[in-house]
Structure 1
């Protein structure tokens, strides 16, 4: 099938637009993060004044016919709301870029490293939006303020970096799939790998911030500017664990599906190809993390380090193995 160059051009334009929108979202997240502690202190002082009876006269004797003015949202919360809206807009435009690339080539839009990296970033952003949506519903039910938005800027940073690398160093022109990838297994196996990798990136960032928060809680005098504004260590640990435990079966399925595809393409299920080996190492590391997270002596900081090691293996597998090491999985398109 010939490539539709018009749709390919629109795809590239949507990709560049999504990067710009993500950058704006990241800046808004960090703006909220920088003002978060100030807003928290202000709310605490206001609550203390009310508790001490500072507004007792105004509240005990309401004025007839007086309509109280609506409470003004703090600037930090408004910035956070704009950041979430920009993230959602960026995800929509990002999805459009992948959809247009697929329509332009008549295939799934993850046939080379440029497309693969883009899809992983979209998976990470969608995972983040799902967590925010679930937390917003919980906050409304429990009447508690949002806590996890502080993760936003730190997640968008690696997403923006990876998208920049994918759109420059790893960029590949729209083209049909090479013969080795022309199989229905690319829809099943690679899609599972993309979703798993994106969620693992999100979980790894949460574990990194968990370590920063724990260091602040153990010694508040250090890293006060960063650690004090992060979500609680319990919240970060819980998010990292839940994301990993949910996506680990999908990663397992991706490896199994890859083995089945390898048997159909190369006549063997497993040949210790560099990509296969590194994927298996990542599986072992994440299995160790889940085991450590359930073991009393390894919960907390030790388990978080294992999760971060898993993220490092995934990044190594994504870049070094696909680009530098020669193997049967060398389909970078560079």
Structure 2
């Protein structure tokens, strides 16, 4: 089928526009992050002042109770009205961030659809198109999973790597719209790649949540210090982040497993064997094993402390599979459009 170059060009413009909107959303997300920081400082200053007043009353009453408010002694105590105004302004900025993200998602999805229409096939034929799918999946799934206000502080941590992925995909991995190679001309292509890209998207978010839970556990609430403490202060608690990572990993494991099984069925149809320890197959299976190990460690009290590290390792291996195996290692899955 002849490629419709106009639709292909419109797809490229949609990707670029989505990138700009995501970048603008990142700016607002970072601004929101800072506003929440000041709200937290205001709350803690007020709590410390109340504790100080209570201790004075108790001491004045002749009790032996001693209370310390040193943590809030150097913070400005603001009125409830000012604190409410700060929080309302922060929530407004957070809402604007989410609106921009949804606008970017619409353009992102339009770019994928136009790419498919331009070539008359599902847009999964090369690594550039796969990166478009995975990055869109990360943003859509994050928008669904992070709807509560307390999760909005995760957006800078999600948008930054997503933008980096989109930038690299649109510059170094970009491939002109063209028909796929004969080996990919199969109805298994959209089925297998859709499931795998969905699993990868969920796994990336889960890995980021585990990484942030480790940061939050190191910089626990009320004891933050240094630069990393300032970065961690607006984040939810370590337990909430760990729970988010776990819930997402519970979905990632069977999704990636299904993708591997579907790939094996396609391999039998295309190459006459279900499994051949091709580099892509091997690393994909290793990734699945790591997610299984994470869930096992998460459910085992004696291994629970190392569980987040296993989840982070699983994400790292998946990213390694996405780039190094596709771009450097030669194998039966070398369809990145770069070989």
**Length-normalised TM-score, structure 1:** 0.87
Structure 1 partner of 2:243: 238
- Distance, in Å, in 2 between the alignment partners of 1:5 and 1:253 is 35
Alignment of 1:331 with 2:335, yes or no, is yes
Alignment of 1:256 with 2:261, yes or no, is yes
- Distance, in Å, in 2 between the alignment partners of 1:331 and 1:211 is 36
Gaps of 5+ in 2: 54-83
TM-superposed CA distance for 1:45, in Å, is 5.6
- CA deviations on 1:5-47 (whole Å, 9 max, x unpaired) are 1100000000000111111111111111122121123345668
Choose from 159, 171, 176 the match for 1:173.
Answer: 176
Instruction: Confirm or deny: 8 A CA contact 2:202 2:251 kept in the other structure.
Output: no
Instruction: Confirm or deny: 8 A CA contact 1:10 1:97 kept in the other structure.
Output: yes
**Residue 124 of structure 2 aligns to a residue in which SS?**
coil
Choose from 291, 303, 308 the match for 1:304.
Answer: 308
Structure 2 partner of 1:142: none
TM-superposed CA distance for 1:115, in Å, is 0.4
Structure 2 partner of 1:116: 130
Change (3 A) 1:84 1:50: farther
Alignment of 1:129 with 2:151, yes or no, is no
Gaps of 5+ in 1: 53-70, 137-145
TM-superposed CA distance for 1:220, in Å, is 2.9
Change (3 A) 1:331 1:270: same
Instruction: Confirm or deny: 8 A CA contact 2:40 2:234 kept in the other structure.
Output: no
1:209-228 → structure 2 map (5 Å cutoff): 209-217=212-220, 220-222=224-226, 223-228=228-233
TM-superposed CA distance for 1:237, in Å, is 0.4
- CA deviations on 1:163-196 (whole Å, 9 max, x unpaired) are 0011000000001111000001111111101101
Instruction: Confirm or deny: 8 A CA contact 2:141 2:202 kept in the other structure.
Output: yes
TM-superposed CA distance for 1:131, in Å, is 0.8
Structure 2 partner of 1:21: 21
Alignment of 1:91 with 2:86, yes or no, is no
- CA deviations on 1:256-296 (whole Å, 9 max, x unpaired) are 00001101000111000000000000011000000001000
Instruction: Confirm or deny: 8 A CA contact 1:206 1:236 kept in the other structure.
Output: yes
1:1-334 → structure 2 map (5 Å cutoff): 1-43=1-43, 72=85, 74-133=88-147, 136=148, 146-217=149-220, 220-222=224-226, 223-300=228-305, 302-334=306-338
With 146-155 and 167-176 compared, the bigger mean Cα shift is at: 146-155
Instruction: Confirm or deny: 8 A CA contact 1:215 1:227 kept in the other structure.
Output: no
TM-superposed CA distance for 1:247, in Å, is 2.4
Instruction: Confirm or deny: 8 A CA contact 1:109 1:115 kept in the other structure.
Output: yes
- Distance, in Å, in 2 between the alignment partners of 1:48 and 1:81 is 30
- Distance, in Å, in 2 between the alignment partners of 1:27 and 1:325 is 37
- Distance, in Å, in 2 between the alignment partners of 1:76 and 1:36 is 6
- CA deviations on 1:59-100 (whole Å, 9 max, x unpaired) are xxxxxxxxxxxx755332222111111111111100000000
Aligned residues: 305
